[in-house]
Amino acid sequence: MSDPTARTLRLLSLMQARRFWSGAELAARVEVSERTLRRDIDRLRQLGYDIVAASGLDGGYQLRSSTAMPPLLVDDDEAVAIAVGLRVAAVHGLDDGEQTALSALAKVEQVLPRHLRRRVAALQAHTAPTAWGEQPRVGTEVLARLALGCRDRERLRFRYVSATGEETARSVEPHSLVSQGARWYLVAWDTARQDWRSFRLDRMDNVQGTGVRGSERPLPTTDVTTMVRADRAAAEPTHHAVVVLRMGRSRFDREFRGWGGQSSDAGEGRIRWTLRGRSAREVLAYLLWFPEDVDWELLDADVGVREAAAVVRTRTNRLID
C-alpha cells in the first residue's frame, strides 16, 4: 500500500480492532516493511494515539488509552450503529443513559455525511424502543469496563448478589454482553465453578480488571442470546409443557428462531420442545404460534398449565355453543 494516508488509516483500523499485534503480522496486513511500519506508527503517535512498542520474540504494538480522546475511525455501518445505539441507550437500562447518550449523539450526527444522516433518521423514525415499568439501572462506566474485558479477554473480579440475596466474590473470563429488554447480562466463564454463567449487571459491584488474559473457549450453545434465555428460564420459577411437533429442524428454526432453544430432534421429522413461562397462560400462548398445517401433541405439562388449558377449553366450548 503506497499511499501514506490510506496506509495510516488502515493501520489505525487494525489497531482499534485488536489489543495487540506483532510487528511482522501488522506489517504484513498493511503490506509494508517493518521499517516503514515504524514510521507509520510514529505518525499515529503524532496524531495523539498512545501506541506502545515491545521488543523481543513476543514484541509488537499495542494501542492504549490516551489522556485525550483522539479521532476514531469507523466505517459507514459502524457510524449508523453508533448513532442508533446511542438513542436506544436512553431507554435501555443505563443509569445515566439519557443525558450522556443524547449528548454523544448530537456530536456524532454533527459530523455524519448526509447520506448516513438519512439512514439514521429513517431508522429512528421507524424504531420505537420501550422500557417496560421500573427496571434495574446499570452505570455506563460498568458497561464500558465489562465491554473492554470482553474485547481483551481480560479476567475480571467482582462482587455478585444472586436472586436469593447471596453475595459472592466472582472471578470470570468475560465473553459477551447481552441486552434483553431493559436488562443487561454478562456471559462469562466462571473460573471457580469451571463452567459458563450469565450475570445480571445490576447485581454486580466493584468490577475490577486483573491484567490476566483468559483462554478462548467454545460456547455451550449456538449463540450467547440462547444461553442467556436458557439461564433465565432455569433460574426463574416457571410453568412448563412438553410438546412434539411434526416438522423438520430447518423449518422449526425458521419459524421460531431463538425461542426454540430448549428443543431436540425426536426423529421421523419431529421436534420435541419444552415450553416455559412465568405463568400458565404464558405457556399456553406458545401454542398460538404453531403453524396451522403442523400437527402437534402435548406430552407433559405441570398442573397449572393443565388447569389453565381446561379453563380455555371450557370458555371456547361456551362461545361455540
Q: What is the pLDDT of residue 208?
A: 92
C-alpha cell at position 248: 423438520
pLDDT by residue, tens only, the chain of 321 residues: 567 778 888 888 788 777 788 888 888 888 899 889 989 899 888 887 888 888 877 678 888 766 455 666 667 777 777 776 766 665 555 555 555 665 666 666 666 777 777 776 766 665 555 444 455 666 666 777 888 788 888 999 999 998 777 899 999 999 988 877 667 889 999 999 898 988 988 899 899 999 898 888 888 877 787 778 777 666 665 788 888 999 999 898 888 876 776 788 998 899 998 887 777 888 888 777 788 888 888 888 888 888 877 776 676 555 555
Residue in 315, 316, 312, 229 with CA at minimum distance from that of residue 275: 229
Rounded to whole angstroms, the Cα distance separating 78 from 191 reads 33
Q: What is the pLDDT of residue 89?
A: 62
Q: What is the pLDDT of residue 271?
A: 92
Q: What is the Rg, in whole angstroms, of the alpha carbon atoms belonging to the chain?
A: 25
Instruction: Report yes or no: 204 and 172 within 8 Å, Cβ to Cβ.
Output: no
C-alpha cell at position 237: 420459577
DSSP state of 258: G
Sheet containing 263-265: give its strands across.
263-265, 271-277, 239-245, 296-301
Q: What is the pLDDT of residue 227?
A: 79
Q: What is the pLDDT of residue 157?
A: 95
Stated length of the chain: 321
**DSSP letter for each residue of 89-148:** HTTTTBTTHHHHHHHHHHHHHHHS-HHHHHHHHHHHHT------SS---B-HHHHHHHHH
Q: What is the pLDDT of residue 132?
A: 46
Q: What is the 3-state secondary structure (H, E, C) of 188-226?
A: EEECCCCEEEEEEHHHEEEEEEEEEECCCCCCCCCCHHH
Rounded to whole angstroms, the Cα distance separating 83 from 26 reads 30
Distance of CA 149 to the CA centre of its chain: 13
- Please report the domains of the chain, with CATH numbers, ordered by start residue: 4-64 (1.10.10.10), 76-125 (no CATH), 140-219 (2.30.30), 237-320 (3.30.70.250)
Instruction: Report yes or no: 206 and 177 within 8 Å, Cβ to Cβ.
Output: no
Report the 10 Å Cβ neighbour count for 96.
13
Q: What is the pLDDT of residue 170?
A: 96
